Structure formats: structure tokens, C-alpha cells
């Protein structure tokens, strides 16, 4: 008993430190990447970014479906040793070399398929990144198992920063899309070099045979990787196929802005939701309360950011990225709707998983993806905005089914569900009207408009929410925004206890 308690006390600081550095790593990468992207966007045009986005889709597919599939069984193993990591290194390196060669040799036919001759050198240059990713994968797996997230955070920050500086310098000198290629390859190569120096470990020449269970797990992770790629990047792939590099560059900018809100807010709350739902699965009232609380908090945090981006897309894009990116403004509004809908659908999926209805989320995901592909193919001839609205419409059409299944599984009446969202939706409506009125009638500079919109929007958003929340206090809709931090802290403790 004492040994177990001592062991938990030893692990707790390491876990807390690891969590801190993991969050810091993510924030640093997101922040640095956005700053570098904003600078490069002023030096390059959307078509050049579109070429890199297309090449990055091939690399991301290779990482999710092949490299991560090879690494995941080792990461999940009970006690992997250096022999297992060495075997993983050689497997991932061999796979990375093979994928690198395939991408390099297929650059010509692929560029012809996309009707973009300038895509070929970008694909050939970016192919080297796959080799670097393959070589570094075993090191990352080893550091993750040892909870050495500090080393990973330092590695990521330094490599992204130096790669970005080099990319900016080359873009300034007129290298065009190849400056982005050098930036990405440089960052991947530096990441490999730094992690080797930090770890002080080198793989041996041993090649350990893996049991059949290992290859079974690899196949399962590969299938999951394909579905994950389709759900998170299928839209970009469809845009690149139907509309080409220029539209892909515009779509990439719009997606970067809107998806950042999803990654920071929704992903964090979803991380808490599953253990909270699991702990309350035998307590219907507690489960319903936790769901409504999480949903209200998620929308409370997301909606003002997404609505601000949607309503003031033109001055925001012109100020941060430059006039040449203004065609992306309408797409930002469509994707803001998409990520709002997808966040609610994801929370519903977590409820269904926690209550044992695990067959529904994959089915809903496949149907939504199929519907998005069909709508995008039908409306691609009308341009980027039509395709973006097609993706959002697919979520909009599937959400009522998702919401019905979630409410039914919790015995949550629709009236209670709608009443709980009244304060947040009322604040969102007031905010949207205020922002659109300011965007329509303001005659001054864009920067002043953005600053004034922050203050006026905050008042317009919070005032009806406070009034309606006070009127509904003591009911399911009694949402008080000033209790948000306390509620988040309580959910965090409940999630940790459930873990």
C-alpha cells in the first residue's frame, strides 16, 4: 500500500511537468507557426502556399497511415526496451526512405493530375521531409514514454523558429514556393538533429522480429489513420483536386484561422469530457448536467472568436495578411460555421462513446464525410465559397441526428437542451448584429475598427447573456459566464479523479 502510494507520488510531479511541457509545446508551435505564416503570407501569393499545402497532404497521409501505425504499438507496449526502439527506428527509416522515393518519382504524374507543373519541384523537395519524419519517429516514441516532453518542446520551438527565419529570408529574396519547401525541410532536419543530441541514444543494429499481434495493431492504427486523415484533411484534398493551388492556398488560410479556435478550445474541453462522462454514466442527472455545462462553456468560448472572424473577415485578413488574401474572407465565414457545428457533433460523439453506443459515431462520421464529398463534387463548379458551404452543410444536415442520439442516450428532453443554450445563443445573436453593423457603417481605418469591435462586441455578447442567465437562474439554462473558471476547475478535478 505504501509502495503504491509512494510510486503515485513519484509519478505525479513527472505527469504534471509532462502535461505542462506538452501544452507549452503545442502553444509555442501554434503561436510561432502563425507568426511565421503571417509574415510569409505578405511575401508570397496564395498559389505558392497552395502548392505547399498539396505536398503537405501527401506527407501527412504518410505520417498518419504508415509511420504512426508502425510506432503506436511500441508506444502502447507495457515495457518497451531499447531493442524495441531500435527495431522501430529501422522500420520507420526504411518506410520513410521508400515513401520519400515514391513521392519523388511520382512528382511528375501527380503535378499533371493537378494540372500544376510547378507542383513537381515542390513535391520532390518536400519528399525529403518524409525521410526525416521516419528517422525521428522512434526518438519521439522513446521520449513520450519517458515523459520527456520538455525536450520535445525545446526541439519543436527551436526547429520551427530557425526553419521559419530561413523561409522568410528566402521568400524575401524571391524564392517563391521553394522558400516554403526549404523552411519545412529545414525544420524537419533540425528536429531530427536536436532530438538525437538531446536523447543521447543511438539505435543498435538489432532487428527484432515482432509478434503477429504487432502487425495486427499496425493495421488497426492504419485504418484509423485513414479515417482521421479523411475527416481532418479531406476538405483540403477536395479543394486541391477540384480548384487547384490558388484556391487551396486561400482555403488553407481560412482553415488556419478558424481551426485554431477549435484546437485551443474544443480539443481541450473534449479531453476533459470523456472521463467526466464516464464517471457520471451511472448517474443520469449528473451526466445531463455535465453535458449541458460543457456544451454551454464550449459555445461560450468559441462563438465570440468565430463570429468575430466571420463578421470582420475582410479587415482582419487585409490587416494581418494583406490585400491579396481578401478572396479568402467569405470562406472564413463558412468555415466558422463548420467548426461550430463540428464541435457540437464531437461532444455528442464523446457522450455516445462514454455510454457504450460506440457504433454510432463512426457511422455518423462516414455518412457526414460521404455527404460532404457528394455536395462538394456537385457545387465545385461554383467556386471556393460553394465548396466551403458544402462542407458546412454536410455537418448541418447530420447534426440533428447526432443531437437526437445524444439526447436520447441521456434521456435529455429537447426543451431542456434548448433552454440551456438560450443565454449563449442570445449573446451570440447580439454580438453578430453588433459586428455586422460596425463592419457595414464604419468609415475609419481597419485597425481601429478591429479594436473598437473587441470592446463593443464584448459588451453586446455578455449583456444579454447575463440578463437572460439571471432570469433562468436555478433552471437548466442558468448559465453564468463569470462562474466559467470555477466550473472549468471543477471539471478538471473530476476528470483527473476519473482518470
Find the DSSP H helices in 322-413: 329-354, 360-379, 384-410
pLDDT of residue 26: 63
Specify the DSSP class assigned to residue 212: H
- Rounded to an integer, what distance in angstroms lies between the CA atom of residue 453 and that of residue 447? 10
Residue 141 in any domain: the answer is: yes
Residue 225 in any domain: the answer is: no
Domain that holds residue 454: 244-498
Asked if 198 and 264 sit in the same domain, the reply is no
Q: Is 6 exposed, middle or buried (0-12, 13-18, 19+ CB in 10 A)?
A: exposed
Of 239, 241, 254, nearest to 386 (Cα)? 239
Asked if 416 and 307 sit in the same domain, the reply is yes
C-alpha Rg value of the chain to the nearest Å:
24
Residue 229 in any domain: the answer is: no
- Rounded to an integer, what distance in angstroms lies between the CA atom of residue 228 and that of residue 233? 8
- Taking a C-beta distance cutoff of 8 angstroms, is the pair 214, 73 a contact? yes
Chain CA centroid to CA 204, Å: 35
Q: Which residue has the higher pLDDT, 133 or 4?
A: 133
Report pLDDT digits (tens) over 231-281: 889 999 999 999 999 999 999 999 999 998 888 788 777 877 777 787 787
Question: Is the pLDDT assigned to residue 171 strictly greater than 80?
Answer: yes
Domain stop point among 210, 227, 262: 210
Residue 184 in any domain: the answer is: yes
Domain stop point among 210, 233, 267: 210
Asked if 295 and 435 sit in the same domain, the reply is yes
Asked if 373 and 277 sit in the same domain, the reply is yes
- Taking a C-beta distance cutoff of 8 angstroms, is the pair 394, 372 a contact? yes
Q: What is the number of structural domains in the chain?
A: 2
pLDDT of residue 2: 44
For residue 452, the tally of other CB atoms under 10 A from its CB is: 13
For residue 488, the tally of other CB atoms under 10 A from its CB is: 17
- Rounded to an integer, what distance in angstroms lies between the CA atom of residue 22 and that of residue 31? 14
pLDDT of residue 499: 44
Residue 40: C-alpha distances to residues 36, 51, 169, 177, 257 (Å): 6, 14, 9, 10, 15
Specify the DSSP class assigned to residue 67: I
pLDDT of residue 289: 87
Provide the CB-side half-sphere exposure for 425 (13 A, CA): 8
Chain CA centroid to CA 185, Å: 22
Region 442-447 average pLDDT = 90
Question: Quick one: pLDDT band at residue 306, thresholds 50, 70, 90?
Answer: very high
Asked if 186 and 263 sit in the same domain, the reply is no
- Residues whose CB is less than 8 angstroms from the CB of residue 100 and which lie 6 or more positions away in sequence, other chains included: 127, 128, 130, 131, 134
Asked if 138 and 277 sit in the same domain, the reply is no
Instruction: Among 99-103, 350-354, 380-384, 463-467, name the one with the lowest average pLDDT.
Output: 463-467
Provide the CB-side half-sphere exposure for 69 (13 A, CA): 25
Asked if 282 and 351 sit in the same domain, the reply is yes
Asked if 335 and 461 sit in the same domain, the reply is yes
Specify the DSSP class assigned to residue 66: I
**Interior CA angle at 346 toward 344 and 348, to 5°?**
70
- Rounded to an integer, what distance in angstroms lies between the CA atom of residue 394 and that of residue 235? 11
Residue 232 in any domain: the answer is: no
Residue 321 in any domain: the answer is: yes
Region 428-457 average pLDDT = 94
When mean pLDDT is compared over 50-64, 148-162, 352-366, the highest value belongs to: 50-64
Asked if 335 and 474 sit in the same domain, the reply is yes
To the nearest 5 percent, what fractions of the chain are helix, strand and coil? 85, 0, 15
For residue 236, the tally of other CB atoms under 10 A from its CB is: 19
Domain stop point among 187, 210, 233: 210
- Rounded to an integer, what distance in angstroms lies between the CA atom of residue 442 and that of residue 429? 20
Report pLDDT digits (tens) over 81-93: 788 889 899 999 9
Give the DSSP H or E segment for 117. Answer: none
Asked if 190 and 276 sit in the same domain, the reply is no
Residue 220 in any domain: the answer is: no
Tell me the pTM: 0.86
For residue 65, the tally of other CB atoms under 10 A from its CB is: 19
Asked if 349 and 464 sit in the same domain, the reply is yes
Report pLDDT digits (tens) over 182-218: 999 999 999 999 999 888 888 887 666 566 677 878 8
- Taking a C-beta distance cutoff of 8 angstroms, is the pair 306, 259 a contact? no
- Rounded to an integer, what distance in angstroms lies between the CA atom of residue 160 and that of residue 339? 26
Residue 234 in any domain: the answer is: no
Cell triple for 291 = 453535458
Chain CA centroid to CA 49, Å: 19
Asked if 287 and 391 sit in the same domain, the reply is yes
Amino acid at each position: 500500500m505504501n509502495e503504491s502510494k509512494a510510486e503515485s507520488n513519484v509519478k505525479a510531479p513527472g505527469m504534471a511537468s509532462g502535461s505542462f511541457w506538452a501544452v507549452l509545446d503545442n502553444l509555442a508551435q501554434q503561436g510561432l507557426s502563425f507568426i511565421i505564416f503571417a509574415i510569409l503570407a505578405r511575401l508570397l501569393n496564395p498559389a505558392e502556399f497552395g502548392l505547399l499545402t498539396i505536398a503537405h497532404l501527401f506527407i501527412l497521409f504518410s505520417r498518419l497511415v504508415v509511420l504512426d501505425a508502425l510506432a503506436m504499438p511500441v508506444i502502447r507496449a507495457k515495457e518497451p526496451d531499447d531493442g524495441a526502439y531500435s527495431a522501430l527506428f529501422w522500420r520507420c527509416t526504411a518506410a520513410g526512405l521508400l515513401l520519400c522515393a515514391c513521392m519523388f518519382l511520382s512528382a511528375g504524374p501527380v503535378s499533371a493530375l493537378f494540372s500544376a507543373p510547378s507542383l513537381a519541384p515542390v513535391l520532390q523537395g518536400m519528399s525529403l521531409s518524409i525521410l526525416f519524419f521516419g528517422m525521428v519517429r522512434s526518438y519521439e516514441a522513446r521520449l513520450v514514454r519517458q515523459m520527456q516532453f520538455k525536450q520535445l518542446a525545446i526541439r519543436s520551438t527551436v526547429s520551427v523558429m530557425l526553419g521559419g527565419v530561413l523561409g522568410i529570408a528566402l521568400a524575401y529574396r524571391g524564392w517563391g514556393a521553394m522558400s516554403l519547401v526549404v523552411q519545412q525541410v529545414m525544420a524537419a532536419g533540425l528536429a531530427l538533429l536536436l532530438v538525437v543530441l538531446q536523447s543521447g541514444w543511438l539505435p543498435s543494429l538489432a532487428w527484432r522480429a515482432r509478434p503477429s499481434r504487432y502487425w495486427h495493431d499496425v493495421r488497426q492504427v492504419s485504418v484509423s489513420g485513414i479515417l482521421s486523415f479523411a475527416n481532418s484533411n479531406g476538405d483540403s484534398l477536395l479543394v486541391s483536386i477540384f480548384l487547384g493551388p490558388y484556391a487551396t492556398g486561400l482555403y488553407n488560410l481560412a482553415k488556419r484561422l478558424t481551426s485554431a479556435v477549435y484546437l485551443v478550445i474544443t480539443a481541450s474541453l473534449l479531453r476533459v469530457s470523456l472521463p467526466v462522462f464516464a464517471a457520471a454514466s451511472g448517474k443520469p442527472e449528473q451526466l445531463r448536467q455535465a453535458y449541458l455545462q460543457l456544451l454551454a462553456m464550449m459555445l461560450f468560448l468559441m462563438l465570440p472568436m468565430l463570429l468575430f472572424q466571420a463578421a470582420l473577415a475582410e479587415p482582419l485578413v487585409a490587416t494581418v495578411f494583406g490585400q491579396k488574401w481578401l478572396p479568402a474572407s467569405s470562406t472564413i465565414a463558412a468555415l466558422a460555421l463548420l467548426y461550430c457545428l463540428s464541435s457540437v457533433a464531437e461532444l455528442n460523439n464523446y457522450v455516445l462513446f462514454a455510454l457504450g453506443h460506440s457504433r454510432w459515431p463512426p457511422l455518423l462520421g462516414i455518412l457526414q464525410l460521404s455527404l460532404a464529398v457528394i455536395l462538394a463534387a456537385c457545387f465545385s463548379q461554383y467556386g471556393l465559397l460553394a465548396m466551403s458551404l458544402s462542407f458546412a452543410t454536410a455537418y448541418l444536415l447530420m447534426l440533428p441526428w447526432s443531437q437526437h442520439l445524444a439526447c436520447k442516450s441521456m434521456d435529455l428532453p429537447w426543451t431542456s437542451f434548448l433552454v440551456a443554450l438560450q443565454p449563449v445563443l442570445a449573446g451570440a445573436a447580439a454580438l453578430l448584429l453588433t459586428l455586422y453593423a460596425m463592419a457595414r457603417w464604419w468609415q475609419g481605418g481597419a485597425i481601429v475598427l478591429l479594436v473598437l469591435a473587441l470592446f463593443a462586441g464584448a459588451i453586446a455578447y455578455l449583456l444579454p447573456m447575463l440578463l437572460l442567465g439571471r432570469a433562468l437562474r436555478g433552471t437548466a439554462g442558468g448559465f453564468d459566464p463569470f462562474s466559467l473558471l470555477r466550473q472549468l476547475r471543477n471539471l478538471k478535478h473530476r476528470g483527473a479523479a476519473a482518470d
